[in-house]
Chains A and B, each alone.
Chain A
Amino acid sequence: MEKMGIRTVRKINFFKAGMIFITLIITALLVLAILSLFLVPDPVDVWNNLWSEEMIFSMKFSLITGLISTLLVMVVALPIAYTLSRFQFKGIGFVKTIIDLPVAFPELVLGLCLLLLFGNTPVGKFLKLIGLDFVFTQAGVVAAQFFTALPYACRILKSTFDYIDPRLEFVSRSLGYSQRETFINISLPLARSGILASVVIAFARCIGTFGTVLILAGGTFMKTEVLPITLYLNISYGNMGMALTSGIVLMVISFFAIYIFEKAEVSL
């Protein structure tokens, strides 16, 4: 009995040690990778690059498009997530798959799809007629970010609504609130932390969108140049200093995003 007991203890430790070892070694690698982005470039060079005309344009433009896209994503994602979580209708499985699809889509493919759609199709022609031109324009950057970030926001919000006990909504309904009033006064406040989390993740995705922007908006210097495009353009220019600086800015933004996300304590 005693022997077996020791063996069991050993087995558990072995398992635990293996798990922790893998976790730690990957964490260490990531820490090294992140640190090297901060330690390799010359700080003076980074500081100067940060205040260059191109970088200021790119940071401002990223911030503005990121905020607009995030706002649009949330306006659309809340109803979609609530629908998928609460209502049943024919074909809901299909809708769920389509909404989730871009998560698994390479950004370049999504960019090509959008380029085709907004190009010479009736949809694209109609949009151009009412003044919405998304091909090679700054509005195109917003469109690209919107479609890239939307599925992430929908996923987080759907799982948030899934965790909210529907009974609370039933009680609200039985006390005289309408469906709309219940959504605004009960469901939304309960989903607060989930909403915060999806805003943060949507914003981070918008700021980081590269392939979709490159193909749909063209990635033109100082016109449709968001931070990831700045990184890519400067690699093509052979200007590693600027490329690394935009990498650092992106890293700092993601760091804050994830920090707030972790604080909001929601599971995906």
Chain B
Amino acid sequence: MIKTTLVCVVSFFLWTANMAFAADLKIFSGAGLIKPMEELRLNFERLHSVKVNTHYGSSGEIFGMVAAGRSCSILVPGAEKYSEDALKNGWIVGDTLKQMVLHVPIIAVPIGNPGNIRGLYDLTKPGVRVAIGDPKAAAIGRVAKKLLTKNGTWKQTVPNIKVYAPTVNQLLIYVSLKQIDAAIIWKDLVSWAEANGKLEVIEIEKQRNLIKTIPTAVCTSASDQIMATKLNTYISSKAGMKIWKKWGFEPCEK
């Protein structure tokens, strides 16, 4: 009896270990990119009949995972700074680093714009309830703080910031549910179908804005470099760009 159980347990562990091996490809991606990334992943799986695993997290989290030596095929954070740092540390392959699409910060306000927000300066008005991403966790948090600092309104905005949300999706919920008057968030995020009709977008003037690009690169730790490069090329290809565009991202090269 014990023998049979042992065999069962051992074979179960072998089976699960096997499953982990079969999935050679692994994408570490910024949480905000989940929609296009899932579609790209499914397409790539169908094209090459392989299994691609994904881990979505804040840019800080996935960067930390790579730093901790977790193996992945490609790294797609929410801003190029993370990939530049990874390149400096030798965690990604230099020639595979590609700037794919633009990540444009905007001000999202609830339908009807109850705080009467017209631009960045309005975020400093007394009584306006503002939410931004946690500057250390989410790429959008860091960018929001930077662009407010750049415009000289960060200090006056701070008293109005009611919440520093660790995840971007929280910002979306808070705006949609009218819990705050304004949030600084990525434009592509608010173009998601769920948010449609739930909030309004206030664009930030180009010269005041900090537009980021989303990079992709093959990791040096990828177990199958050839397939990882194929995946990297696919998501930044013309066919890939169609999917990015569908989800509200603008390609870097027009």
Binding site for B on A (CB under 8 A): 14, 17-18, 21, 25, 112, 115-116, 119-120, 135-136, 214-215, 218-221, 223-224, 229, 232-233, 235-240
Contacts and interface: CB of A to CB of B under 8 A. Distances in A.
Interface string B148-177: 000000000000001111110010010001
B57 interface: yes
Nearest to A218: B163
Given A18-B1, A119-B177, A221-B134, A233 B64 contact: no
8 contacts: A14-B1, A112-B173, A120-B179, A214-B166, A219-B166, A219-B170, A221-B136, A233-B136
Nearest to A25: B9
A17 B1 contact: yes
B137 A233 contact: yes
Contacts of A218: 131, 162-165, 170
B179 A135 contact: yes
B60 interface: yes
B199 to A, nearest CB: 15
A136, A223, A240 interface centre (most CB from chain B within 10 Å): A136
A220 B134 contact: yes
A14 B1 CA distance: 8
A233 to B, nearest CB: 6
Given A116-B177, A119-B178, A119-B179, A240 B64 contact: yes
A17, A116, A135 interface centre (most CB from chain B within 10 Å): A135
A25 B2 CA distance: 12
Nearest to A119: B179
A238 B165 contact: no
Given A136-B162, A220-B163, A221-B164, A214 B64 contact: no
Interface string B60-73: 11111101100000
Contact of A115 (B2, B65, B167, B179): B179
Contacts of A236: 57-58, 60-61, 134, 136-138, 166-167
A115 B163 CA distance: 13
A237 B63 CA distance: 9
Contacts of B5: 21
A112 B172 CA distance: 13
Interface in B45-67: 57-58, 60-65, 67
B170 to A, nearest CB: 7
Contacts of B179: 115, 119-120, 135-136
A199 B60 CA distance: 38
Given A119-B177, A240-B64, A233 B1 contact: no
Contact of A214 (B2, B62, B170, B177): B170
A120 B65 CA distance: 39
A238 B65 contact: yes
Return the 6 tightest CB-CB contacts between A and B, nearest first: A238-B64, A218-B163, A236-B137, A236-B58, A136-B163, A136-B162
Contacts of A235: 57, 61, 64
B163 A237 contact: no
A235 to B, nearest CB: 6
Nearest to A133: B162
Contacts of B58: 236
Contacts of A219: 163, 165-166, 170
B137 to A, nearest CB: 4
Contacts of A21: 2, 5
A115 B170 CA distance: 12
A17 B178 CA distance: 58
A125 to B, nearest CB: 12
Contacts of A120: 178-179
A14 B5 CA distance: 12
Contacts of B68: 240
Contacts of A135: 162, 179
Interface string B7-42: 001000000000000000000000000000000000
Contact of A238 (B2, B9, B60): B60
A48 B42 CA distance: 44
A21 B178 CA distance: 54
Contact of B166 (A115, A223, A233): A233
B162 A237 contact: no
B253 to A, nearest CB: 31
Nearest to B180: A136
